[in-house]
Amino acid sequence: MVNIAVFVSGGGTNLQALIDAQTSGRLHSGRIRLVLASNPGAYALERAKNAGIPGVVCSRKELGSQGGFEAAISKELEAHGIELIVLAGFMSILSENFTKQWPERIINVHPSLIPSFCGKGFYGLKVHEAALSYGVKVTGATVHFVNEIPDGGRIIAQKAVEILPGDTPEVLQKRVMEQAEWVLLPHAVEQVAAQMEKERA
Ligand code: GAR
């Protein structure tokens, strides 16, 4: 089984989808060994605790520099024998220095159909605000590998979601999560972990 770390910053509903997939056996080629939060207030840490998964905090602000932040993350990853990283609503930036050490070993979920509404400044509700103000009729979610380009790594999976009249950013965010993110992310993580297992067999 592949040892997985999930990086979080907020509510952690995507983390919950991964935990549920693990419990039901839909995610069986990997195991979540660590939840790493960018801030101590992340509700995702409660979800980790409830599932009996170790949780740690690495805060960019508290650690002072990008180098110090990434050194602390690397230390945690090593201590837990992590082989695959999943960014599930992780709002801190990882530098090229870090991402190049994990080629096609970091997965991110983004709440739009990349290459629309992605890159610097597009995160969380802002993505849905941008989609609504542009007036697109279809949006969705993308799961992709992370490289040095923000939201620029190879795409693993995408799912389209309809925009309906009267949608607010909050309503749209919830629909994109329910119909796309919570389905796609566990599936993609299983796919990548299964491939990693196969390669080392
Ligand atoms: C999710 O919608 C995720 O796609 C988005 O943040 C939300 C986190 O929710 N991520 C990004 O915007 C990354 N660019 P969660 O904490 O409930 O999983």
DSSP string, 127-165: HHHHHHHHT-SEEEEEEEE--SSTT-SPEEEEEEEE--T
State the pLDDT at residue 9. 98
State the pLDDT at residue 177. 98
Rg for the chain (alpha carbons), in Å?
Answer: 16
State the pLDDT at residue 201. 87
Q: Whose CA is nearest to atom 14 of ligand 1?
A: 123
CB 193 within 8 A of CB 29: yes
- The string of pLDDT tens digits covering residues 143-156 is 999 999 999 999 99
pLDDT beneath 70: ranges in the chain: none
**Which residue shows structure tokens 């995507």?**
14
CB 159 within 8 A of CB 141: yes
CB 149 within 8 A of CB 159: no
Q: Which atom of ligand 1 is found nearest the CA of 44?
A: 16
Can you give the residue ranges of every domain in the chain? 2-200
State the pLDDT at residue 34. 98
State the pLDDT at residue 70. 98
For 127, list phi and psi in degrees, rounded to 5.
-65, -45
Q: Whose CA is nearest to atom 10 of ligand 1?
A: 89
Q: Which atom of ligand 1 is found nearest the CA of 141?
A: 4
Q: Is the CB of 13 under 6 A from ligand 1?
A: yes
141: tokens are 């979610």
State the pLDDT at residue 15. 98
DSSP 193: H
H/E stretch holding 87 reads strand 84-87
Q: Is the CB of 30 under 6 A from ligand 1?
A: no
Q: Is the CB of 123 under 6 A from ligand 1?
A: yes
Residues recorded for the chain: 201
* Average pLDDT value over all residues in the chain: 97
Best mutation site among 127, 129, 158, 189 for ligand 1 pocket (most ligand atoms within 8 Å of CB): 127
Distance from C-alpha of 48 to C-alpha of 87, rounded to nearest angstrom: 15
pTM: 0.98
State the pLDDT at residue 43. 98
2-200 is classed CATH 3.40.50.170:
yes
- The string of pLDDT tens digits covering residues 95-138 is 999 999 999 999 999 999 999 999 999 999 999 999 999 999 99
Query: Which residues are known to be catalytic?
Result: 110
3-state class (DSSP) for residue 100 = coil
